[in-house]
Structure 1
Amino acid sequence: MRIRIVLLAASSILAVSAASAQQNTSTTTLDEIVIDGQAAGQRGVVTTDGYVATSGRSATKTDTPLLETPMSISTVTQAQLDDRRPQSLLEALAFTPGARVGTYGFDPRYDAFTIRGIDVTNTGVFRDGLRQINSPNGLFRLEPYGLEAISILRGPTASLYGASSSAGIVDLISKRPTATPFREVEVQTGSFGRLQGSFDLSGPVNGDERFLYRLTGLVRDADTVIGAVKDNRVFIAPAFTWRPTEATTLTFLSEYMNSTTGGTAAYINAYAPYVDRNGVVTSKSIGATRVFGGDGRYNAFRQDQWRIGYELDHRFNETFTLRQRLRYSQLSNNQQYVFAGSPGLTREENSGLVVDTSLETRLRTGEIDHKLLTGVDVTYLTYQSREGYGGTIGVDPDFASRVRQTQTMTGIYAQDQLSWRNWRLTLGGRYDWLSSRFARGFPAAGVTDYAREDGKFSGRAALSYVADSGLAPYISYGTSFTPNPGAVLSGGVAVPTTGEQVEAGVKYDLPGRNMSLRAAVFSIRQENAVVYEVVQGINRQVQLDLRSQGFELEGIASLANGLSFQASYSYNDARILKLTPETVGNRLSSVPYHMASAWLNYTVQDGPARGLGLGLGVRYVGSSLGDNLNRPVLDNKPRTLIDASIRYDLENLNPQWRGLRLQVNATNLLNEMRQTCTVGFCYFDEGRKVIASLRYRW
């Protein structure tokens, strides 16, 4: 009831604002406001023009043109987010080359995905350049409405960021205060009884551009394609910027989100006997049924998460710039579920502090320009998890096990970006010290403690040639080092994951056009990767060695005639090097050889249909294998998914409706719901989802 009241209030605000606009336009002509997604005082976080990103900090922690950055980078810009209206991180990444979403079918509990065939769910998500703290069952959820952009870096970045996957990272860039006043309210409705209200307000405080604010919020009441699974959410994100001088900027970023979904989101699998090479008979899945695996009477997954932090930038002079990023985060979840007719309960809490301090030094030696970055960062994570099973459905079971872990990692790093004529050389190195303590307790067996102390060097070297024609070939080599939360099935703290990658590519920015083309070929080798494997019917963490090779193509543009597009193709061959004797050399589960996507958006520029926008997206996911044994019975068939959008600026019907936009977005328009099997368990894709929105900006 409370959510519906808030939605009603949001609708009232929109109506009153629209009425006010009608009254004002009779006497005053409003100046057009153009929002480009670039917050004041944050030049270099990300700079975009429509669908095309031109520079950013995510790849190098310095403001560097993407053409001159010798690694694979994709950016989901604010314009793309506005047009496609993704409702999760997975939907936001769906058109990114090399990113495999839908690995677990429809599962709104976690944002699980792979990059270049490697799972980066726990170790590859960053927020505003800082590692996002996660624990095995305590993963921060993303609200896309709170983002300015998403930077996807493919390949090792550990030489700068430390704990990160060899496949790359996804840097989520929060909305920041703007110097240009910006106000927006919106209401939505759609599939599965969806009701949502949201607002986004920003600008100077009392007209003083030294003090800027932004307040973004959302409330949602919705069901999903599975009747027992909710999609409810309350989200609020205050931000504040203080610019005491032209040389100093301090921005505070914070967020609170409460969400409720389903503790079980899977379907019952059918099983049959399987005999391994030693003659051992086990029961393994042969596919999913259409029967929901949980119980609506005991299926709530409630999660509270919040974060608070700041970004400090101070430019001493033309040579030295100091930056510091700090964030404290905390998460608590309560997951009720039913498995094989028996209830289960997991409660997990985690908290962590991340702080990164760096000094950028610009200098010149002879004909060579240097952009030298030196820094130190510290990450601290602690979490505890309690699990219970059995009893009566609807009654919380007693906790049968308890887990507690702390991790502390300190890293020092240095990077030099050298420029000589058209050549660009990037050299970087980092050393990390990791301390991990893990304790697991059972009522009958007592407490078992594990501890690890690790140290590791990681580095990166990359060379590119930036021709005057806009063509920039490059080659790079990098290594990675990733501590893993939790313990593996064999017992003990998970061994840190290490990896290395060789990549060669070419970038091309078409002269005089807002269009970019990218191509890259890569080879990754990773050791002690933590993955989930179904063992005796339950997903457990295990470690493997793998090799992933492939290539990617991407084209993206926003043209003056109202046409924008993004298109990509990726080929990925991921193989197991060490897991079990039966799986060595096999293809990695649920990693297709081929993926392709294209999104085309056109906005009519003049005539009777001026302001009408049409978008159409196609996503192709090739066939893959449903378990690491590569059993034919679990083949994942290829599929093609269609997304679409239509929008209209109502001011073209009536000038008094300026700022009003009606928009409808659909994902999986053809309702393609095929089975997807991953590590021996099978799921179904989410069906068609249609969302209609009415937005007012002023």
Structure 2
Amino acid sequence: MSPVRPVSRAFAVALLGCTCLTVIGPVTASAQDAIELDTVTVDAGASTPGEGEGSGLETDGYVAKSADVGTKTDTPLKKVPQSISVVTRQQLEDRNVQSLSEALTYTPGVRVGAFGFDPRFDSFYIRGFDVVYNGVYRDGLRELTGNFSIFKTEPYGLQGISVLKGPSSVLYGGGSPGGIVNLTSKRPTDAPFREIETQIGNNGRVQAQFDASGPLAGNDNVLYRITGLARDADTDLASVPDDRTFIAPALTLRSDDRNTHLTILGEYADITTGGNATYFNQNGRPSNLESGDPAFGDFDQQQGRVGYEFEHRFNDTLTIRQNLRYAHIDADVKYTSIGALSADGLTASRSTGRIVDDLDSIAVDNQAQVSFDTGPVVHTLLGGVDYNHVDVNDKIGLGVAPDLNLVTLNYGAQAIPSPTLDFVDTTTRQSQTGVYLQDQIEVDRVVLTLGGRYDWLSQKAFNQLSVSPSEQDDENFSGRAGLSYLFDNGISPYVSYSTSFAPVIGNSFTGAAFDPSEGKQEEVGVKYAPSDLNLAVNAALFRIRQTNVLASDPINANFQIQRGEVESRGFELEATTSLLAGLNLTAAYTYLDMEIIEGDNLGKVPSGIPANQFSLWSDYTVQSGAADGLGFGAGVRYLGKSWGDDTNTFRNDARILIDASLSYDLGKANPKFEGVSAQINAKNLFDKRADSCQAGYCYRDEGRNVIGSLRYRF
């Protein structure tokens, strides 16, 4: 029996090649024309629109200037006393990013790929802590999740990605001490913008996409945007497709004086991938036997969301906002797993499983911002009340599949019946209400940020196969204090202290409810953003401690215990720049020292997290001469050694992965082709397929992935 995949909260024990799965219980000022729109240059000269009104992002090429993820207010990053990294739209396009995990591969403090190649979920850690289940936000509102009902992100629908490092409960409620990832949706723009693009790649990849935006019917106060995509693709695994249909409409309505605006954001996606993306482990390493089977292996998910962002500015003092979103997910996961090989090596016994999730969620955030002075002191006061509710039904069935013939490898040749959904049938309802207050105080060069929040959480679980529902209530106070100093030369040193909590829903083997997990962080850093150069350099030292961490129960299989406390200490360094000479660059280094300081595996290092990571991506476009419009990009990613299990008995090898791109603006060769560009991207150029082991189970990295694209912007 393969081990289950651990998660940071006890919503469920998610499957990664396992033959059984146990659910513990759920948790859970606009521009007037294209020049004024803060356009950025991409793809050897083609232009893409700015962030759109109300995005909360301000970027210039690869360099982020402000992001409201750190304060929920329009604050320059140099004034925020916490580390923030931003993956801009131009970075996403230059690397032709195909998933959220891939988007974060060049971000300091973020570990992706701990579970190898797995297109079912975007899995990543921040500063050593998992954030998938409780740290992903869309436009400032949490993406609430279920067991396998986790929103899948289409990067083509994003304007940018902001990563707030460290505890953030003071603004966002319960979550990971590692931080949060905020996805900023594409929004309507003032200037008309249209593009169509086709892509082809290895593994039979075929994709078409489009994006259009601008004033609707010539009315400058009514703006639209619609983004769509369709893809048919296979992957390295025969039982794991990567098919997707995606559509995201958006509409902005605003007053003549621009003091009031309403933006409506929607999405619908139909996604098919695989239910099991692993290889059968043999002698502690992945074999060449694919564990899944295309005859019974599709993971079908339909997801949709609709919501709005409303803002009204009464005057220069008072602004109110309300952001709301309703979301729904239908997930149907079918999988086959190899359990063991026969003694003669001719057959492999197999099991099946099916998971059906149905999720409804609503999130709303009400804010009031007051800006005022008290003598020489400038205040930006933010108060708010937010509410999150999720209702999810989770059904699970387990069964037996026909043996696999190891001589003929008859994958997909045998009928595999679906198991009856009678192993688990649980409905969970969870609600969280939070009240928060923050004051950003500026006195000359000094910026003091103070914030506090109180949360109430209630959860009820109803097991349809039994008569005993469970209830659990938690409440918690979170705080943050930070101090920054702004020098004229662009250097901004800061120091901060912040806390977080995460409700841990579920019970141990004895039936005892889990206590909330709490985190606290001390951080000191310096930011450099000179006014005369499009450059940002950030460095941070931090220490995070998390209590009541979950671990696998060593005595009772498929249950979890709270093992005590984990400490994460480290250093991060990041530099980004975009120059007029056509050069873009982002570089990052992370050093992480993690240790279990209380409870099970005392003194050991959590598995799958390397102590050292380094990445560098650079893109250059020739600006004149015969090669005008020709672009080159190259990236290197280094992952140091990490432990393969939590008892630290064996290690994952260090690895270096190389990415590359080549692009050309055809309009530079012939004006008739103005707006047409071609691009080729290669991820893992040298096809290094290393093993990645986590919690004692091993996975395999994705091989070389090459995609060619042809785009027309007009």
For normalisation by structure 2, the TM-score amounts to: 0.88
Note if 1:465 corresponds to 2:485. yes
Q: CA deviation at 1:406?
A: 1.0
Superposed, 1:399-410 pairs within 5 Å as 399=421, 400-410=423-433
Q: For residues 401 and 326 of structure 2, what CA distance do their matches in structure 1 show? A: 38
Whole-angstrom CA distance in 2 between matches of 1:72 and 1:488: 36
The residue aligned with 2:78 is: 67
Counterpart for residue 519 of structure 1:
539
Aligned to 1:421: 444
**How far apart are the structure 2 equivalents of 1:33 and 1:590?**
40
* Inter-partner Cα distance in structure 1 for 2:395 and 2:122: 22
Q: Does the CA contact (< 8 Å) of 1:36 and 1:48 recur in 2?
A: no
Read off the aligned partner of 2:321 and give its amino acid letter: R
Mapping of 1:427-506 within 5 angstroms?
427-442=450-465, 446-484=466-504, 491=511, 494-506=514-526
Aligned residue type for 1:647? S
Matched, 1:617 2:626: no
Corresponding residue of 1:298:
296
For 1:259, the equivalent position in structure 2 comes to: 271
CA distance in 1, matches of 2:400, 2:644: 33
What does residue range 184-583 of structure 1 map to in structure 2 within 5 Å?
184-245=195-256, 246-271=258-283, 286-339=284-337, 340=339, 341-392=350-401, 394-399=416-421, 400-442=423-465, 446-484=466-504, 491=511, 494-530=514-550, 545-580=565-600, 583=601
* Aligned equivalents of 2:313, 2:488: Cα separation in 1: 30
Question: Aligned in 2, Cα 1:305/1:107: closer, same or farther, shift over 3 Å?
Answer: same
Give the superposition deviation at 1:224: 0.1
Q: 1:14 — aligned with what?
A: none
Q: SS of the residue aligned with 1:264?
A: coil
1:164 maps to 175
Asked if residue 687 in structure 1 is aligned to residue 708 in structure 2, the reply is: no
**Is 1:608 aligned with 2:606?**
no
**Following the alignment from structure 1 to structure 2, what is the Cα–Cα distance between the partners of residues 460 and 468?**
26
User: Pick from 613, 627, 630: which aligns with 2:648?
Assistant: 630
Q: Is the 8 A contact 1:128 1:174 kept in 2?
A: yes
Matched ranges for 1:27-42 at <5 A: 34-39=47-52, 41-42=53-54
1:696 is matched with 712
- Going from structure 1 to structure 2, the CA distance change for 1:489 and 1:334 (only over 3 Å counts) comes to farther
Question: 1:406-426: per-residue Cα shift (whole Å, max 9, x none)?
Answer: 111101000000000000000
- Structure 2 unaligned spans of 5+: 1-44, 340-349, 403-415
Report 1:90-129 matches (<5 A).
90-129=101-140
Partner of 1:52: 63
Provide, for residues 276-296 of structure 1, a one-character-per-residue CA deviation record: whole Å limited to 9, x for no partner: xxxxxxxxxx22212111222
Would you say the 8 A contact 1:531–1:544 is kept in 2? no
1:256–1:88 CA distance, 2 compared to 1 (3 A): same
| Structure 1 position 163, deviation (Å) | 2.0
Which residue does the alignment assign to 1:645? 661
CA distance in 1 between counterparts of 2:144 and 2:552 reads 19
SS in 1 for 2:469: strand
Does the aligned pair in 1 maintain the 2:615–2:635 contact within 8 Å? yes
| Distance in structure 1 (CA, Å) of the matches to 2:592 and 2:364 | 35
- Secondary structure of the residue that 2:156 maps to in structure 1? helix
1:135 equivalent in structure 2? 146
Shift in CA distance, 404/522, structure 1 to aligned 2, threshold 3 Å: same
- C-alpha spacing 1:490/1:677, structure 2 compared with 1 (3 Å): farther
Alpha carbons of structure 1 residues 557 and 541: separation in structure 2 relative to 1, 3 Å: farther
- 1:344-367 C-alpha deviation (Å, 9 max, x unpaired): 111111111100000000000111
Distance 1:524 1:54, change over 3 A: same
In structure 2, what is the Cα distance between the partners aligned to 1:641 and 1:647? 21
Q: Is the partner of 2:613 in helix, strand or coil?
A: strand
Following the alignment from structure 1 to structure 2, what is the Cα–Cα distance between the partners of residues 618 and 227? 28
| Residue 521 to residue 483, structure 1, CA distance change in 2 (3 Å) | same
1:166-185 aligned at under 5 Å gives the runs 166-185=177-196
Q: Which residue of 2 aligns with 1:23?
A: none
> Where does residue 42 of structure 2 map in the other structure?
none
Counterparts in 2 of 1:350 and 1:630: CA distance versus 1, 3 Å:
same
In 1, distance between residues paired with 2:419 and 2:659?
42
Aligned-partner Cα distance in 2 for 1:607–1:365: 58
State whether residues 49 and 193 of structure 2, in contact with CA within 8 Å, keep that contact through their aligned partners in structure 1: no
Q: What amino acid is aligned across from residue 443 of structure 2 in structure 1? A: W
Residue type of the alignment partner of 1:55: S
Question: Match of 1:58, SS?
Answer: helix
| AA partner of residue 118 (structure 2) | D
Q: Is the 8 A contact 1:533 1:680 kept in 2?
A: no
Moved more, 164-173 or 543-552: 543-552
Q: Helix, strand or coil: the match of 2:646? A: coil
Distance 1:124 1:531, change over 3 A: farther
Separation in 2, partners of 1:303, 1:58: 29
Number of residue-to-residue matches in the alignment: 644
- What CA distance in whole angstroms lies between the structure 1 residues aligned with 2:529 and 2:397? 56
- Shift in Å, 1:545: 2.6
Cα distance in 2 for partners of 1:316, 1:329 equals 31
Moved more, 416-425 or 403-412: 403-412
- Residues 194 and 353 of structure 1: is their aligned pair in 2 closer, same or farther, counting only changes over 3 Å? same
Residues 372, 472 of structure 1: CA spacing in aligned structure 2 closer, same or farther, 3 A cutoff? same
Q: Deviations over 1:108-162 (max 9, x none)?
A: 1111110000011101100000111111221111000000000000011110111
SS state at 1:192 partner: coil
Q: Which runs of 5+ in 1 are unaligned?
A: 1-31, 272-285
1:287 is aligned with what amino acid?
R
Instruction: Output the amino acid matched with 2:457.
Output: L
Does 1:670 find its partner at 2:682? no
Aligned-partner residue type, residue 661 of structure 1? S
Contact 1:135 1:486 in 2 (8 A): no
Counterpart of 2:100, as a letter, is: L
Matches of 1:456 and 1:196, distance apart in 2: 46
Alignment CA distance shift 1:371-1:112 (3 Å): same
Verify the 8 A CA contact 2:472 2:505 in the aligned structure 1.
no
Q: In structure 1, give the amino acid aligned to 2:428.
A: Q
Q: Cα RMSD between the aligned structures?
A: 1.8
Describe the SS at the equivalent of 1:661. strand
Q: Is contact 1:534-1:679 (8 Å) kept?
A: no
Partner of 1:5: none
Shift of 1:661: 0.7
CA-to-aligned-CA distance 1:347-388 (integer Å, 9 cap, x gap): 111111100000000000111000000010001011111111
How far apart are the structure 2 equivalents of 1:490 and 1:555?
Answer: 50
Could you tell me which amino acid in structure 2 is paired with residue 505 of structure 1? G
Deviations 1:32-52 (A, max 9, x none): 98434220x32x610000000
1:541 Cα offset (Å)? 8.5
Q: Which amino acid aligns with 1:311?
A: E
